[in-house]
Amino acid sequence: SQINVWDKVDQYITERLIPHDAILEAVLSTNQEAGLPAYDVSPSQGKLLNLLVQMQGSKRILEVGTLGGYSTIWMARALPAEGKIVTLELDPHHAQVAAANLSLAEVQDKVELRVGDALEQLSQMSNEGVEPFDCIFIDADKPNNPNYLKWALHFSHPGTVIIGDNVIREGEIINKNSEDPRVQGVRAFYDLIADENRITATAIQTVGSKGYDGFVIGMVTS
Ligand code: SAM
């Protein structure tokens, strides 16, 4: 089937371009054994995040939705020595697994894992006067995507890159009557980006080991 080809091509890409990595593989099996849902980005997507961080020269990254820290590790590895990621996770069990994974990958000193509802954490961070971020990865509960985008703008400077995952949803995204709150959240996210003149953005459809989906990538201009 088509899905089988997508998966095989993803495997081919991974074998050719993404060196075998015992730590990242251990992280994925730990997550599985701990009962975490397999919502981590794929290896090729993780590598894309890693490349974007390097290309942009990001020093400060915000991630909304840690899960087991798989994407966090990919991005942390691309940071310079003084770089930092703040990653937000609601579920204490996910956060506990992530903390162990971040230590295994020896990136714990670059990562601040904040446990609790992301909207509460973001408002607390604002009260704490947390500095803007160079790169922001939105990958948590999709109904809240519009709220996360507002906070992303709050924590941005001109040049900040904003990435939002799972914005195609097997094409469901064009169904304006969808009863799936994730689809409606992502549609509202597109509307907000379209209406926001401080962001210029596009979205890319993807197929691969995680099926048919895609991501939004944008840049804050002012
Ligand atoms: N970025 C991760 C990766 O690629 O490895 C995957 C993140 S997973 C798609 C989404 C995560 O967001 C889950 O761990 C979930 O518990 C978390 N989450 C859901 N609602 C949240 C909320 N309100 N605040 C913070 N995290 C939330």
Q: What is the CATH number of the domain that holds 122?
A: 3.40.50.150
pLDDT for res 152: 98
Closest atom of ligand 1 to 144 CA is 23
The 3-class SS string of 112-175 reads EEEECCHHHHHHHHHHCCCCCCCEEEECCCHHHHHHHHHHHHHCCCCCCEEEEECCCHHHHHHC
Query: Which residue, judged by its Cα, is nearest atom 11 of ligand 1?
Result: 65
pLDDT for res 122: 98
pLDDT for res 193: 97
- To test the pocket of ligand 1, the residue of 25, 28, 91, 145 to mutate (highest count of ligand atoms within 8 Å of its CB) is 91
Burial 146-163 (b: 16+ CB within 10 A, else e): bbbbebbbebbeeebbbb
Average pLDDT (78-104) is: 98
Closest atom of ligand 1 to 63 CA is 1
* Residue 16 confidence (pLDDT) above 90: yes
* Residue 1 confidence (pLDDT) above 90: no
pLDDT for res 123: 98
| pLDDT tens-digit series, residues 108-141 | 999 999 999 999 999 999 999 999 999 999 999 9
pLDDT for res 2: 82
Average pLDDT (145-166) is: 97
Give 45's pLDDT tier (boundaries 50, 70, 90).
very high
Rounded to the nearest integer, the mean pLDDT of the chain is 97
pLDDT for res 3: 80
Which residues form the domain of 114? 2-220
* Residue 175 confidence (pLDDT) above 90: yes
Domain count, the chain: 1
For the purposes of burial, counting CB atoms within 10 Å of the CB of 29, is it exposed (0-12), middle (13-18) or buried (19 or more)? Answer: exposed
* Residue 82 confidence (pLDDT) above 90: yes
Cα 141 to Cα 146: distance, rounded to the nearest angstrom: 11
Cα 54 to Cα 47: distance, rounded to the nearest angstrom: 11
* Residue 43 confidence (pLDDT) above 90: yes
ipTM score for this prediction: 0.99
Give 165's pLDDT tier (boundaries 50, 70, 90).
very high
Give the Å distance between the CA of 47 and the centre of ligand 1: 19
* Residue 50 confidence (pLDDT) above 90: yes
